[in-house]
């Protein structure tokens, strides 16, 4: 288990580097101009959670990074010194249940991929079958390269009690499937999507891919984890005509086990679908939960 303070620091650092759009080489050069010599490998270890700054010299680098990355003064320094809040990034909370998600992404050959791009649009179209299980999830992602890149990790987490061996991704356009890593304990599958061309910095790209979960476990909740908010996030859930829910709620949470921060009652459209759209969604979880008639108490 990774130390929680450590997770909090490297999560903030990764997000700051990605949003600033600087390469590690550029950051290293800017630090050098301030008389601070640090290796690119050290910066990489810090943002990936393999090491943490501990010496006086490295703390001086952290304070300089706050200026270079244009984050609030002492935000990175305080992340090292204090216990992270209970509403820390949900993806870190999820990874604690099994193999670290960062490790899975690295093993799939996508180390650094998430800090090399900006997701500009993220659309998931989820189909729920007559047995109440997810029959397929179609994803359409548009990304902008912040550095040269050609790989992207597709991540799918199945339901509790399922087997990751029964989860697979299928590429539709703009990419092909490369290496695949599964973790049975957390029931998560990470697939390397190899783009059909290498992107130069500033280029945009569209990928379409499917996630298949053959565990066939009924669900009554579907949500998306939002760590670094895209410009546009959309989630659509379609239901089988012979198994429609009698009540649906749209909700937001900071963490999976935390309280709701937003709830709204929704109704199905005439085509048995319900959808939500967020522009710059808040970090946390956003999704739907529903109830079938057979699930309601008759007493």
DSSP structural state of residue 17 = H
pLDDT tens, 102-148?
788 889 998 778 777 788 899 999 999 999 999 999 999 999 887 78
Confidence of residue 8 (pLDDT cuts 50, 70, 90): low
| Total-model pTM | 0.68
Per the model's pLDDT, the better-predicted residue between 18 and 90 turns out to be 18
Domains 4-84 and 94-295 share a fold: no
Closest CA to 150 of 212, 205, 95: 205
Is the pLDDT score of 299 beyond 70?
Answer: no
108: its two tokens: 């799939």
> Dihedral (C-alpha) 248, 250, 254, 257: value to the nearest 10 degrees?
0
Q: Compute the CA torsion angle 124, 127, 133, 136 (nearest 10 deg).
A: -70
Model pLDDT, residue 87? 39
102 to 11, 50, 295: CA distances (angstroms): 11, 10, 37
pLDDT in tens, 65-112: 989 988 778 778 877 765 444 433 444 444 444 457 778 888 999 877
Q: Which two tokens stand for residue 233?
A: 């996030």
DSSP per-residue string spanning 154-212: EEEE--TT--GGGEEEEEEESEEEEEEEEETTTTEEEEEEEEEEEEPTT-EEEEEEEEE
Distance CA 191, CA 58 (A): 35
Q: Residue 136: which H helix or E strand, with range?
A: strand 134-145
- What ranges do the domains of the chain cover? 4-84, 94-295
Instruction: Looking at the structure, give the CATH architecture of the domain made up of residues 94-295.
Output: Sandwich (2.60)
Q: Answer whether CATH 1.10.260 is correct for domain 4-84.
A: yes
Give dist(CA 93, CA 154) in Å, integer: 18
Distance CA 59, CA 54 (A): 7
- Which two three-digit tokens encode residue 90? 């949900």
Return the DSSP state at 250.
Answer: E
* Gap between the Cα atoms of 222 and 243, Å rounded: 16
């Amino acid at each position: 288990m990774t130390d929680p303070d450590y997770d909090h620091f490297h999560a903030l650092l990764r997000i700051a580097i990605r949003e600033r759009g600087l390469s590690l080489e550029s950051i290293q050069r800017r630090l050098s101009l301030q008389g601070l010599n640090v290796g690119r490998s050290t910066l990489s270890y810090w943002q990936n959670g393999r090491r943490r700054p501990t010496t006086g010299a490295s703390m001086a680098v952290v304070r300089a990074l706050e200026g270079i990355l244009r984050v609030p003064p002492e935000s990175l320094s305080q992340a090292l010194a204090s216990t992270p809040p209970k509403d820390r990034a949900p993806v870190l909370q999820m990874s604690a249940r099994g193999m670290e998600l960062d490790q899975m992404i690295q093993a799939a050959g996508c180390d650094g991929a998430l800090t090399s791009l900006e997701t500009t649009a993220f659309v998931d179209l989820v189909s729920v079958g007559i047995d109440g299980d997810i029959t397929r999830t179609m994803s359409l992602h548009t990304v902008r390269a912040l550095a040269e890149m050609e790989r992207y990790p597709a991540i799918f987490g199945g339901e509790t009690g399922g087997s990751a061996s029964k989860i697979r991704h299928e590429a539709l356009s703009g990419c092909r499937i490369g290496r695949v890593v599964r973790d049975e304990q957390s029931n998560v599958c990470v697939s390397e999507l190899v783009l059909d061309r290498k992107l130069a910095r500033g280029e945009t790209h569209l990928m379409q891919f499917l996630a298949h979960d053959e565990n066939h476990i009924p669900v009554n909740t579907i949500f998306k984890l939002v760590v670094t908010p895209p410009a546009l996030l959309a989630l659509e859930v379609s239901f089988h005509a012979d198994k429609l829910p009698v009540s649906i709620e749209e909700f937001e949470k900071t963490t999976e086990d935390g309280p709701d921060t937003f709830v709204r009652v929704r109704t199905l459209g005439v085509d048995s679908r319900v959808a939500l759209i967020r522009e710059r969604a808040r970090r946390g979880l956003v999704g739907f939960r529903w109830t079938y008639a057979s699930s309601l108490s008759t007493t």
